[in-house]
Amino acid sequence: MERILILLLYISLAGIAGIHKLLGDFPPAWFYGKFKETFLNAIPGGIWFSFVLIVVLEIVIALLFSIALIKGEFKSETKSTFALFGFLASLALFVILFFGSFLVQDYDNGFNDFVYFGVTFYLMEYFKKNSSVG
């Protein structure tokens, strides 16, 4: 049961965040404002690309965990291929968010991203230990 809840947690976490970003301004003014003084603004389309990368990862994470749920990867006898890729994509996203937070000296948010990374890593290891990794 707990593996189902882990999958649902990440589907919700990434899916809702990605959908909200897709339905809003793309990218929003606050995102430009936050990164306008960084090297990302010196790269043509750098801020836009950064936002797109975050949104794509969030949608991909939600899709990977949804596929894992549909395939029954929460069962110990089922290979957890899609769930593992979902965790790896989540770890990559949290590294990107952590880097962005520290880039703009938002250390409180950076700490949160660090904690999310650690919790995700722990849950990935828990999930792998209690499933057949394929």
Backbone torsions φ then ψ of 45, nearest 5 degrees:
75, 10
Q: What is the pLDDT of residue 83?
A: 93
Q: What share of the chain is helix, strand, coil (3-state, %, to 5)?
A: 80, 0, 20
Query: Which amino acid type is present at position 88?
Result: L
Cα–Cα distance for residue pair 75/56, rounded to 1 Å: 28
pLDDT along the chain (134 residues), means of 10: 90 94 89 92 92 96 96 82 95 96 93 96 87 57
Q: What is the pLDDT of residue 90?
A: 97
110-132: pLDDT as tens digits = 999 999 999 999 999 988 887 65
Q: What is the pLDDT of residue 131?
A: 67
Domain locations along the chain: 2-129
**Integer CA distances (angstroms), 59 to 1, 98, 116, in order:** 24, 19, 17
Q: What is the pLDDT of residue 75?
A: 81
Residue 70 token pair = 């549909």
CB atoms inside a 10 Å sphere around CB 23:
8
Q: Model-level pTM? A: 0.89
Q: What is the pLDDT of residue 62?
A: 97
Question: Are the CB atoms for 125 and 90 separated by under 8 Å?
Answer: no
Query: Which amino acid type is present at position 22?
Result: L
Backbone torsions φ then ψ of 79, nearest 5 degrees:
-65, 140
Q: What is the pLDDT of residue 132?
A: 58
CB burial of residue 6 (10 Å; 0-12, 13-18, 19+): buried
